[in-house]
């Protein structure tokens, strides 16, 4: 049982390292979004995808260990929680309790931090898209939209001003 718990703790510690890496990448993304460096952002997103793939593999390994722990402790896998595990380890293997508590608390912190960074990045991207839409509207002029005054779908192509070759290149 102790070996299984140690493996579980090590797996969560590795997940925490990957989550910290994702948070660092997320902060780099913020800087690139603000600076408007699209190529660098694209490259960073590819790195992030690889990191997420690695995290997914670790999550699978952690879930298998968690299922094994649940079975050995007599819990159903879907009812097994960090609180239950911590309570059992405090009584059954007190020497492993501090390490388990630390990695679980760090996991909680990393997830909250990553969620906040991702939320902020989404806001920045939304602001950028609104800005792009406003600039496009300035170049193309205001149009009624894709619906007529009777609520029927209409083709707005006729209402848009024609762009010349120079406009298209810009």
Domain coordinates in residue numbering, the chain: 1-139
- In the predicted model, residues of the chain with pLDDT beneath 50 are 165-170
List, in order, residues 6 or more apart from 41 with CB less than 8 Å away: 29, 32, 33
Gyration radius (Cα) of the chain, Å: 25
* Confidence at residue 99, expressed as pLDDT on a 0 to 100 scale: 95
1-139 belongs to which CATH class? Answer: mainly alpha
pTM confidence score: 0.72
* Confidence at residue 126, expressed as pLDDT on a 0 to 100 scale: 85
The answer to whether 146 and 156 are in contact (CB under 8 A) is yes
* Confidence at residue 152, expressed as pLDDT on a 0 to 100 scale: 67
* Confidence at residue 77, expressed as pLDDT on a 0 to 100 scale: 78
């Amino acid at each position: 049982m102790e070996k299984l718990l140690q493996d579980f703790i090590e797996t969560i510690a590795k997940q925490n390292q990957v989550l910290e890496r994702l948070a660092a990448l997320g902060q780099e993304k913020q800087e690139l979004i603000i600076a408007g460096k699209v190529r660098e952002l694209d490259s960073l997103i590819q790195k992030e995808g690889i990191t997420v793939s690695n995290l997914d593999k670790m999550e699978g390994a952690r879930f298998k260990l968690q299922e094994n722990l649940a079975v050995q402790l007599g819990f159903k896998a879907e009812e097994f929680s960090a609180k239950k595990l911590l309570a059992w380890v405090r009584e059954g293997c007190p020497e492993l309790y501090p390490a388990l508590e630390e990695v679980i608390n760090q996991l909680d912190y990393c997830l909250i931090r990553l969620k906040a960074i991702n939320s902020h990045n989404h806001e920045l991207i939304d602001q950028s898209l609104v800005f792009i839409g406003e600039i496009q509207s300035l170049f193309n002029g205001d149009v009624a939209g894709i619906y007529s005054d009777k609520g029927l779908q209409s083709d707005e192509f006729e209402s848009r001003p024609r762009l010349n070759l120079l406009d298209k290149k810009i």
